[in-house]
Amino acid sequence: MLIKRQDDIKPSEITNPSLYARRREFLKGGAALALGVALPVGSALGPAYGAAKLSPLTPSRFNTDEELTPYEAITTHNNFYEFGTDKESPAKLADSLRPRPWTVLVDGEVKRPREWDIEDILKQFPLEERIYRLRCVEAWSMVIPWVGISLASFIKAVEPNSNAKYVAFETLVDQEQMPGQRSNLFGFGLNWPYIEGLRIDEATNPLAILGVGLYGEVMPNQNGAPIRLVVPWKYGFKSIKSIVRISFVEQQPVNTWQVQAPREYGFYANVNPQVDHPRWSQGQERRIGDWLKRETLMFNGYGDQVAQLYSGMDLSKNF
């Protein structure tokens, strides 16, 4: 069952106050960050950038009150194949990513196609803190205080037409900035760009956000700077990072991991402990920092909010 909290609780009362005291304030024009208290050594933040403050933040009514995963763990244990296939490589190599300037192209079956500058997105849409669980297909999980904007609000602003049944997302392709794109993965390589997709009703669910930060800070490069998808009831690979294109389409997108390993990864990627990955069980997970495993929750514990999206579907086939 999802545990909720009252909307009037301040973020500083949920997150470790010492971490909130360290949050960065961003100056106009991409000037250097003003940091009041130094972060721990090796905190693996990306380069300084930004033109909007990430605080104060409005807490979400969907927040969990589970213990937060430490910032250090969130920013040093990452899946981001554009920077390497092991969990440590993104934090080591992602300094090459240049998250400013940055634009996101919106096109396809939409009334208002345009190229959005990241600063315009931050100015036009209110930022919220969303404390969500993240569940990865490899059976590890975290609890992350994301900062983001409502994906539904963004979609409403660009006005998709009646032909738009799906939303497709693409990651940046740039071998200079993303060294993992230069080499083959598992000997035969991914097809870049990384592509993900949602049905329109999934994308407009109130839980879905476009993430721009975490722990009150701007998004670190290795976590998907400057803008990424966060869909907390799905496995982490669904939450595509460093987005440069959002397309509204009539046909279901073919996602990167569907092409790479269709037996293992389907379009929906809903957290479902009843359907095992071909190489391991999904029935349990280990929270980063814990020794013991815990039972995996259906839809990652967000069933009350999303189960109706899949009414009548066979989730063992639509995996």
Q: Taking 90 as the threshold, does the pLDDT of residue 20 lie above it?
A: no
What pLDDT shows up at residue 57?
78
Q: How confident is the model at residue 71 (pLDDT cuts 50, 70, 90)?
A: very high
Q: Taking 70 as the threshold, does the pLDDT of residue 230 lie above it?
A: yes
What is the set of domains in the chain, with CATH numbers?
A: 11-310 (3.90.420.10)
- Residues of the chain above pLDDT 70, percent: 81
**Pairing of the two strands 140-150 and 128-135:** antiparallel
User: Which residues does 120 contact at the CB level (< 8 Å), separation at least 6?
Assistant: none
What pLDDT shows up at residue 130?
96
Candidates 282, 208, 277, 278; CA nearest to 238 is 208
DSSP E strand boundaries for the chain: 58-59, 103-108, 114-117, 128-135, 140-150, 166-171, 195-199, 209-214, 217-218, 228-230, 243-249, 284-287, 294-295
- Most trustworthy range by pLDDT among 28-32, 208-212, 264-268: 208-212
Candidates 101, 123, 144; CA nearest to 231 is 144
What pLDDT shows up at residue 55?
63
pLDDT tens profile 298-317? 999 999 999 999 999 999 88
pLDDT average, residue stretch 178-185: 80
Q: Taking 70 as the threshold, does the pLDDT of residue 74 lie above it?
A: yes
pLDDT average, residue stretch 15-31: 34
- Does 14 or 126 have the greater pLDDT score? 126
Q: Taking 80 as the threshold, does the pLDDT of residue 222 lie above it?
A: yes
Q: Taking 60 as the threshold, does the pLDDT of residue 79 lie above it?
A: yes
What pLDDT shows up at residue 257?
92
What pLDDT shows up at residue 2?
39
Q: Per mean pLDDT, which range of 23-37, 172-186, 226-240 is the poorest?
A: 23-37
What pLDDT shows up at residue 48?
39
- Does 7 or 62 have the greater pLDDT score? 62
Q: How confident is the model at residue 156 (pLDDT cuts 50, 70, 90)?
A: very high
pLDDT average, residue stretch 94-117: 97
- Does 50 or 202 have the greater pLDDT score? 202
- Does 48 or 92 have the greater pLDDT score? 92
Q: How confident is the model at residue 209 (pLDDT cuts 50, 70, 90)?
A: very high
What pLDDT shows up at residue 35?
27
User: How many Cα atoms are found within 13 Å in the side-chain-facing hemisphere of 245?
Assistant: 14
What pLDDT shows up at residue 319?
86
Q: Taking 80 as the threshold, does the pLDDT of residue 224 lie above it?
A: yes
What pLDDT shows up at residue 87?
95
Averaged confidence pLDDT in the chain:
84
User: Which residues does 97 contact at the CB level (< 8 Å), separation at least 6?
Assistant: 46, 177, 178, 221, 225, 242
